[in-house]
Amino acid sequence: MTVPSLVVITPMRRRHLRAVLRIETRSQPRGWSLGLFLGELARPEGRSYLVAKVAGQVVGFAGMLFIGDEGHLATISVDPDWRGNGVAARLTAVLCRKAIEGGATALTLEVRAGNTAAQALYRRFGFAPAGVRRAYYKDSGEDALVMWAYDVDGPDYAARLRAIEAPLAASTELDGLTVAGCELDHGAASGIGGRP
């Protein structure tokens, strides 16, 4: 695996689910089922599901639910062969921007207590531990750390997102997405990305 020259972020579609399930199976002992993904895609209101592609291959995905003025990062996963290349950061940045665009003032998520790499990513995005859900993951009985980011609609959080997005912008294209304030669209500068 090489460092990707271009990562394309696009809305998740049914045609992506075979690749999404392959990544889910490689990443989680008991991940989401095809039926769960189909159910989520069938109800687009109040949710956003994205895939990240490199050279046409799905290498990661993420989804967020929007409830009132909160966004809940419900799922995120990157193919193990593509981890460490900013794929998760790109997906998280776009979902955070979409949540803010939709009126969110706070974001939340659950993460495995032992997944320190994911926790470090979320801390970059301003998430802080707020509690523990005991034995949340049924496959292993592992606890979930509940994390929250507050005041995401303010100028400090906007600056945080810009700082995260800046080094990734030249190698990222948004396809089929329009996201206010997002600086992750190399394609928009060239006239090829950010298509609605």
Kindly report the length of the chain. Answer: 196
- Nearest Cα to 101, choosing from 184, 182, 162, 11? 182
Three-class secondary structure of residue 127 per DSSP: coil
**Which residues in the chain belong to E strands, given as ranges?**
7-11, 47-54, 57-67, 70-78, 106-112, 128-137, 142-150, 172-174
Is 146 exposed, middle or buried, given 0-12, 13-18 or 19+ CB atoms closer than 10 A? middle
Cα 190 from Cα 175, distance rounded (Å):
13
Q: Which residue has the tokens 């990544």?
A: 23
CA diameter of the chain:
48
Paired with 54 in beta bridges are: 57
Written as six digits, the tokens of 30 are 């008991």
Catalytic amino acids? 110, 122
Instruction: Give residue for tokens 């949340």.
Output: 136
